[in-house]
Amino acid sequence: MYRILYLVGIGFSPLLTSSNLVSVFSLPFPLPQLQMKREGELDKVLSWANIYPCAHQLWMGNFISFLNIYDPDYTKVVYSRGDPKAMDIYSFFLPWTGKGLVLLDGPKWFQHWKLLMPAFHSEVLKPYVDLFVESTKAMVDKWDKNIQKDKCVNIYPDVGHMTLVSLIKCIFGRSSKSHVQRYHQAIGELTLLMQERLAIFQYHNDFFYYWFTLHVWKFLQACKIAHDHTDKVIRARKAALKEEEEQEKIQEKKCLDFLDILLGAGDENRNKLSDADSWGEVDTFMFEGHDTTASGISWFLYCMALYPEHQQLCRQEVQDILGNCDAIQWEDLGKMTYLTMCIKGSFRLYPPVPQVYCQLSKPVTFMDGRSLPEGSLVSLHIYALHRNPALWDKPEVFDPQCFSSENSSTRHPYAFIPFSAGPRNCIGQQFAMTEMKVVTALCLLHFEFSLEPSRPSIKWLQLVLGYQNGM
């Protein structure tokens, strides 16, 4: 069982040096370090949010402190600026993902952002619908066979595998079944190892982690599996691009994959991404694009099982749109209004990434006069923001009507941010929503979902919002 040590309100922080802020955001007296089970951490933050309406100070270990915010006005002040990610937290990902868009900052981040934006244009995403349908049908067929033997199916592993298969097709344009399984195991191992490293303070020290833990061998081996595949495919594709005939084939392709666009992208000075840059962006997209979507799909189906009346309304909408056909076209997705509202409803209660961190590049003053100095770490707690009783009438209730056009138009723009917020929000959110709609629509078309009473799903905070006991 992983545990994280929090010290709340200790009265001194090397980062939060303003006496005004420390007195406001700390508890009135020191507390011992709290050992919290991972499954109870999210609810613990909610209890603190009830005491401190906008934000509070937290410690990770004994030396890393940050301000935990869950108020839309506070969020707007910080996340509308585009401050870089908090490398005290995210530097652990460097050996795995390299410096992709998530970890870059400054002019290089902007350069990569401009080069990558075309990869997520709607015209590029349209052909991906067929890939999502193909992968989903394979998963549905597997479930069909399984429920003939046992009506209880743990959906999360299959959803994770399906999103990975889809992502490999979208990135590389091909899929090797044996390699997908090996890669999926490596990504799962890396995810757990990274969460463990974040949770155990001693592991934050590179020297200690790389020389005195057994975990490092698993970590390095899993990194090698991920990197070898990425490097092999990039080299092969670049070699092929040198041939004129191959370039003509790519230009004529109806479905450009992510790697086609990545290797062909250039700025106004015709500068292209280096091999290291391409490797970093592919591995970043691999992590960001499958585990988060798998979490979102799984928790959506959990909500459908928990609220059968909404499940039936979604199913009826999909049936009305598709008729007797189970093939989905791009144009169909825009008609799935109630399904989209329910997806957003599940995102509100169960955001795939419950918490993100940034480091202030310059001081900030909030609207109430409180301030933070340059270098402060700020955590945007999306989970707590989405359950803030000041923003939502029934914060703990699944209510798709919150996302009707009427209700959405009057909501604070930073009250609902499942893909983060500001200029550094998720570049792939349209990709994720497209896949979410295709997968969930087909799942509801083929199955009626209900919960297994003997195996309740318990929220489990990993790098994404996971579960215990199966789902």
| Domain-wise residue ranges, the chain | 3-468
pLDDT, residue 1, reads 28
Per-residue pLDDT of the chain (471 residues; tens, 9 = 90+): 222 323 233 222 333 333 334 333 443 323 333 333 455 678 888 999 989 989 998 877 667 788 999 999 999 999 999 899 988 888 888 998 888 898 999 899 998 998 888 888 888 899 999 999 999 999 999 998 888 777 688 888 899 889 988 988 888 876 555 566 787 788 778 877 887 887 787 888 889 999 999 889 999 999 998 888 888 878 877 877 776 555 565 555 656 788 888 887 765 566 778 888 888 898 888 888 888 999 999 999 999 999 999 999 999 999 999 987 888 999 999 999 999 999 999 999 999 999 999 999 999 999 999 999 999 999 999 999 999 999 999 999 999 999 999 999 999 999 999 999 899 999 999 999 999 999 999 999 999 998 877 666 666 666 788 776 666
d(CA 261, CA 249): 14
| Chosen CATH of 3-468 out of 1.10.630.10, 3.40.640.10, 2.102.10.10, 3.20.20.70 | 1.10.630.10
Provide the annotated binding site for heme: 426
Cβ atoms < 10 Å from Cβ of 174: 10
d(CA 393, CA 74): 20
Q: Is 61 left (phi over 0), alpha (psi -120 to 50) or beta?
A: left
pLDDT, residue 38, reads 54
pLDDT, residue 459, reads 66
How much is the pTM? 0.87
pLDDT, residue 319, reads 95
pLDDT, residue 465, reads 83
pLDDT, residue 416, reads 96
pLDDT, residue 155, reads 87
Provide the annotated binding site: 426
pLDDT, residue 68, reads 93
Strands 377-381 and 64-69: parallel
Q: How far apart are the first and last CA of the chain?
A: 19
Q: What type of residue is 379?
A: S
DSSP helix/strand/coil, 63: coil
pLDDT, residue 325, reads 81
Instruction: Supply angle C-alpha 374, 368, 409, rounded to 5.
Output: 100
Cβ(339)–Cβ(297) under 8 Å? no
Residue 374 has what DSSP assignment? Answer: T
Alpha helices in 352-468 (DSSP H): 382-385, 405-409, 429-446
